[in-house]
Structure 1
C-alpha cells in the first residue's frame, strides 16, 4: 500500500514540479547560447538577453520556492482539510501516510537541488574550467590515499549528513503544521510560531553540544602542533557525524509529534 501511495503522490506533485523544471532547462539553454555567442553584446539583442537572464534567476529561485510550497501544501491539503477524512479511511497506518509524503517530498527536494546545480554549472562554467575540475577530481583519490585519508568515507558522511538534515527539516515542517492545526483559528500563525520555536530549540541544543565537538581539535592546537591531514579529516568526519546524530534525534522527535497529532489531535477544516 505504501508503494501505491508513493506512486499517486508522485503523480499529484509532478504536475507542479515538472513545468518549472522544464522552464529552468529551457532558460538555461537560452542563456548559455546567449553567453556562448555573445548575443548580449549586440545592441539589438541586449535587452532580450538581460530579460532572459532575469527570468533564469527567477526560475532558479522558483524551483526552491515550489519545493518548499509543495512540501507544505501537499501535507496540509491531504491531512488537514476535508481530504483528511478520506485519507484516514484508507487501509494504511499513520506511518504509511507520513512516509509516503516524506519520501516523495525528499526525492523532489533532492532533484530540485540537483537540477539547479547542474543548470548553474552548465551556464557558468566553460570548457577550460571543466577540464581543470575533471583533472582535480581525477587526482583527488590518489592525493587523499597518499595522505592516509579515506575519501569514500568522507563523501559518504557528507551525503548522509545532507540527507538526514533534509529529512529532519521536512519532518519539522510536518510537526509544525499538525501542531498549528490544533487551533481552530490562526492555524498559519501558530504553525509558523511553532516552526520558529523548533529552530530556537535546535540552535540552542547545537550551541550546547558544539564545545564537545571542538574540544579534540582545540587540544591539538593548544599543544602547539599543526594537525595532520588525517586529523583534520577525522575532525571533519566527526563534525559531520555529530550533525547526522543531531538530525536523527530531532527528526525522530518531529516524526513522533506528527504521528501522535495525526492519530489523536486532528482538527480538520
Structure 2
C-alpha cells in the first residue's frame, strides 16, 4: 500500500507541484506590480496583464488537478497500465484507496496553495490583517468555548468526506463507462450525468417527503424531543449527521467501483 501511495504521489506531484510553484510566483510578482509606483508604468497595462495571467493560472491549477486525478485512475486501472497494475500483489481495495488518498491530498493542497497565493496577492489591501484578526477572534472563541474547536474539526472532517465521496463518484462513473464495448470515455460522461440526475431526483423526493406527509409529523416529534438538548450538543449532532450523510453515497460509489474492478473489469 505504501509503495502504491509513493508511486501515485510521484506521478501527480511531478505535474502539480511545478504548477503550484508557478502560481505562488505569479502571485508574488502580481502583488509587487500592484503597488502605486508599478501601476504608473505604461498606464498599468503590465499590471492588468499579470492579473489576468494569475487568474488564468489559478483556474488552470484546479482544472489540471481534476484532469490528472481522473486520468490517473482511468489510465492506471482501466487502461493499458491496468495489465501491469492488477498483476501486483495488492488488492483492489488497496488500488482504489491509494488513488483516493492521493486525490484528497492533492485537492486539499490545491486549495491551500490557492488560498496562500490569494493572501499574497491581497497583502497590499489589508487582507493579511483581516485574516490575522479572524484567527485571533477564533483563538479567543476557542478559549471561551472549547466546542468551537470541535466544530472546526467536524467541519474539516465533513469537507474531507465530501471530497472522498466526490472522487469515488467520478471513479464509479468511469468504471461504469468502461463496461461499454465502445466509446468508453463518452459513456463515462453519460453515466456522470445520468447518476447526477438520479441523485438530484432522489434528493428532491426526500426533501419533499421531509416537508410533507407522515415525515412532517416525525420531524416535529424529533424537534420536540430535542427541545431541551444544549445548543452545543445539537450543533455537534448536526455536523456529525452531515458527515454520515456525505459518507453514505461515497460508500455506495466505493462498493460499485470495487465490484466492477473485482468482477467485471475488461481491459481488452
Taking structure 1 as the reference length, the TM-score comes to: 0.85
Cα deviation code 1:132-180 (max 9, x no counterpart) = 432343233444665x671011101110010000000000011110100
Selected match of 2:120 from 122, 125, 132: 122
Equivalent pair of 2:119/2:128 in contact (CA under 8 Å): no
SS in 2 for 1:166: helix
- Map 1:90-105 to 2 at 5 A: 90-105=88-103
SS in 2 for 1:103: helix
- 1:236 and 1:205 mapped to 2: Cα distance? 26
Q: Which runs of 5+ in 2 are unaligned?
A: none
Selected match of 1:188 from 164, 169, 185: 185
Greater Cα shift, 17-26 or 2-11: 17-26
Residue matched to 2:44: 46
SS in 2 for 1:85: helix
Greater Cα shift, 149-158 or 110-119: 149-158
SS in 1 for 2:181: coil
- 1:178 and 1:250 mapped to 2: Cα distance? 16
Please report how far the alpha carbon of residue 48 of structure 1 lies from its aligned counterpart in structure 2 after TM superposition.
2.1
Please report how far the alpha carbon of residue 8 of structure 1 lies from its aligned counterpart in structure 2 after TM superposition.
1.0
After superposition, the CA RMSD in angstroms is: 2.9
- 1:206 and 1:240 mapped to 2: Cα distance? 19
- Map 1:117-266 to 2 at 5 A: 117-126=115-124, 128-143=126-141, 150-210=147-207, 211=210, 231=231, 236-266=235-265
Please report how far the alpha carbon of residue 78 of structure 1 lies from its aligned counterpart in structure 2 after TM superposition.
0.7
Give every structure 1 segment of 4 or more consecutive aligned residues whose post-TM-superposition deviation is greater than 6 Å.
none
Greater Cα shift, 47-56 or 86-95: 47-56
Equivalent pair of 1:169/1:251 in contact (CA under 8 Å): yes
Please report how far the alpha carbon of residue 112 of structure 1 lies from its aligned counterpart in structure 2 after TM superposition.
0.6
Equivalent pair of 2:26/2:54 in contact (CA under 8 Å): yes
Q: Which runs of 5+ in 1 are unaligned?
A: 224-229
Residue matched to 1:30: 29
SS in 1 for 2:34: helix
Distance 1:15 1:139, change over 3 A: closer
- 1:116 and 1:157 mapped to 2: Cα distance? 22
- 2:223 and 2:258 mapped to 1: Cα distance? 43
- 1:125 and 1:203 mapped to 2: Cα distance? 41
Please report how far the alpha carbon of residue 202 of structure 1 lies from its aligned counterpart in structure 2 after TM superposition.
3.1
Equivalent pair of 1:141/1:151 in contact (CA under 8 Å): no
Taking structure 2 as the reference length, the TM-score comes to: 0.85
Instruction: Say how many residue pairs are matched.
Output: 258
Selected match of 2:83 from 77, 82, 85: 85
Selected match of 2:71 from 51, 70, 73: 73
Cα deviation code 1:53-97 (max 9, x no counterpart) = 111001100111011101110000011112111110001110111
Residue matched to 1:60: 58
